[in-house]
Structure 1
Amino acid sequence: MAATCGSQAAAQETDSDEAEVAAQRPEGGPPAGFDMSDSVFDETWLTFGVGIGLTPSYSGSDDYRAFPLPLIVGRIGGVGITPNGPGLNFDVLSNPPGQDQGKTSLSFGPTVRFRGSRDDAVNDDVVELAGELDSALEVGVQGGVRIPGVLHRFDAVTLGTAVRWDVLGAHEGMLVEPSVGYFSPLSRGAAVQLIATASFVDDKFADYYYTVDPQQSADTGLAEFTAEGGLNSIGVTAIGTVDLDGDVLNGGLNVFFVGGYSRLVGDAADTPYTSVRGSADQFIGGLGIGYTF
């Protein structure tokens, strides 16, 4: 499992980027309870991977597009690294895999994420007339608690929250993303995680992505709409990984997959970009291969 997993699920926000967020993996490192002596998971280890994903072409779209699904997860210099959609989470409280076996542990550190939406890949001729949006770079902090042995010896529940702000002057807003995850190995070489998430946004974020201003209304024929912040989306994601030689502890090649559903709510669902031209129901999927050393 270690070979393909990162902590905050997050991610998935239910917009098209957030769908990419679903590319996030579960907990880094092997399942708790395994003998960690003579394994690839020590003070320093890394997994690199690449895959292909499917996501809505913009937040609220009912058209889908393919996107690259990169993966970096591991531990370097005492800092854990896990994916966060098109971005990364860093855990400064990280311990070597196996050290926290059977113990409740905390995570905390910076988080960064790139967000693009309504770019030249939008698959809707009407929404395209509303104009492209600038890309955002969101920077903030994330933290959580991992509770092992909930239903059986090797599983774990993770509670986490991330807060991020745009620093590139695109939406200029803030997001708060709580999540609850359940992780369980299926065998020595396979594991699965279920992640429930929610996304709260402020007025600046909602206005940037969901408002239809007078000029956009004239250009597209859509009704004018003023969006405000609040609960933006809720969803669930399933993430699985399989080590190709059946033993996660020796590293090497593995495959990972992700599938998820999320529902836009509030003004994210009511905007004409969603209610008239798209759908509040958002789906994601992805498949990739990684290598751990």
Structure 2
Amino acid sequence: MLAIASPSAAQTELAPQALPPAPAPAGEWRVSIGAGALVSPDYLGSDSFTLSPLASPEIRWREDTLFLSLRDGLGATLLRHGNVYMGAILRARFGRDQDDNDALRGMGDIRPAGEGGLFLRYADAAWRGALELRQGFGGHSGLVADARLDRVLRLRQDLILSAGPRLSWGSEDFAETYFGVDTEQARRSGYARFTPQDYWFAGVAASVTYVLDDRWSVTAFGEVGRILGDAADSPLVDGRGSATQALFGLVLGWRFLP
């Protein structure tokens, strides 16, 4: 998963949440690839933005028995009952380089992290909902959770809209890694020591997909929200950044199978 998104997108974790629900054509295999551009914050909490390329693969086998996508990560469905299914999920989070932004100078680098856990999802023709709980390893050792809900509207055969709320949470270990300032970081950066207890993010995402033909489509998407909880008081957010976070993207997709 480290090769399919820009570092800023994967580090903020906003882009996968903003992407629209995947279409579900019939077939044992569903394979597509997308390429485009993304405007996203330099780091989670930044008030500066970066324009970067974005790649969005979509590989699904037997109704998500196994899947790989930028939106849903790498996973496997273990239990299924009607429109509700649950399983195991693995996501990646890029590291953070102190040279990415002047506000990070003296904070040191954060290694890339993996996040593994469980998901619970609901999907029908009009609604897509998901809950995830994941444990970090590598760059951070915190617990994270995400919730999202999308209302999907097919206005015409070639025009699909989706929109809905997003909510994310990170434990104390997660918040300290990305928003905390320890004694050594305070000495190097000039920030006061800061030890957050949690991280929250609440926002709304929307997308519009135009189907060009039976293989090609173009999707525009965006998300805007606020960092909440102790993390919002971090000097990386309240002092040198912004609690309001937003991103916008455009992806041209090509369906290979079926």
TM-score (norm 1): 0.76
Of 219, 233, 251, which aligns to 1:288? 251
Please tell me whether the aligned partners of residues 263 and 280 of structure 1 are also in contact (alpha carbons under 8 angstroms): yes
CA contact (8 A) 1:242 1:256 kept: yes
SS of residue in 2 equivalent to 1:212: coil
Aligned to 2:14: 19
- Spell out, residue by residue over 1:81-136, the C-alpha distance to the aligned partner (whole angstroms, 9 max, x if none): 363459334445689xxxxxxxx61132222211124325622x242221111111
Residues matched between the structures, number: 247
CA radius of gyration, larger in: 1
Partner residue, 1:192: 161
Q: How does 1:93-104 map to 2 (within 5 A)?
A: none
1:83 aligned onto 2:51: no
Where does residue 38 of structure 1 map in the other structure? none
Residue 164 of structure 1 corresponds to which residue in structure 2?
A: 134
More strand by share: 2
The 3-state SS of whatever aligns with 2:208 is strand
Q: Deviation digits for residues 3-27 of structure 1, max 9, x if unmatched?
A: xxxxxxxxxxx99521232453314
Task: Go from structure 1 to structure 2 and tell me whether the alpha carbon gap of 1:120 and 1:289 turns closer, same or farther (over 3 Å shift).
Answer: farther
Question: Which segment drifts farther, 16-25 or 234-243?
Answer: 16-25
2:219 to 253, 256, 277: 256
Within the candidate set 181, 194, 210, 1:225 is matched to: 194
Q: Deviations over 1:124-149 (max 9, x none)?
A: x242221111111111111122354x
Matches within 5 A, 1:113-262: 113-119=91-97, 122-123=100-101, 125-148=102-125, 156-168=126-138, 170-229=139-198, 231-245=199-213, 251-262=214-225
Q: Do the aligned residues in 1 keep the contact of 2:103 with 2:236 (CA within 8 Å)?
A: no
User: Is contact 2:181-2:192 (8 Å) kept?
Assistant: yes
| 1:112 maps onto 2:94 in alignment | no
How far does residue 55 in structure 1 lie from its aligned partner after superposition? 0.9
Q: CA deviation at 1:157?
A: 2.2
2-structure distance, mates of 1:111, 1:260:
23
Query: What's the TM-score once normalised by structure 2's chain length?
Result: 0.86
Question: What are structure 2's unaligned runs of at least 5 residues?
Answer: 1-8
CA RMSD of aligned residues (A): 2.4
Q: CA deviation at 1:77?
A: 4.3
- 1:140 and 1:165 in contact (8 A); partners too: yes
Give, as a single letter, the amino acid of the residue that structure 1 aligns with 2:206.
A
- C-alpha separation between the residues in 1 aligned to 2:29 and 2:72? 23
Instruction: Read off the aligned partner of 1:237 and give its amino acid letter.
Output: A
Q: Secondary structure at the match of 2:74?
A: strand
Output the CA distance in 2 between the equivalents of 1:92 and 1:192.
29
- Sequence identity percentage: 28
* Equivalent residue letter for 1:44: W
- Partner Cα distance (1:74, 1:185) in 2: 23
List alignment gaps of at least 5 residues for structure 1. Answer: 1-13, 31-40, 96-103, 149-155, 246-250
Shift of 1:181: 1.4
* Distance of 2:35 and 2:142 partners within structure 1: 30
- Distance in 2 (alpha carbons) for counterparts of 1:82 and 1:191: 22
Shift in alpha-carbon separation, 1:236–1:89, aligned structure 2, 3 A: farther
TM-superposition CA deviations, 1:219-258 (whole Å, max 9, x none): 11111111112x511011112211113xxxxx31111111
32, 42, 49: which is aligned to 1:57?
A: 42
After TM superposition, the structure 1 stretch with the greater mean CA deviation from structure 2, 125-134 or 112-121, is 112-121
- After superposition, give the CA deviation of every residue in 1:141-177 in whole Å (9 maximum; x if it has no partner): 11122354xxxxxxx1233201111132x21111111
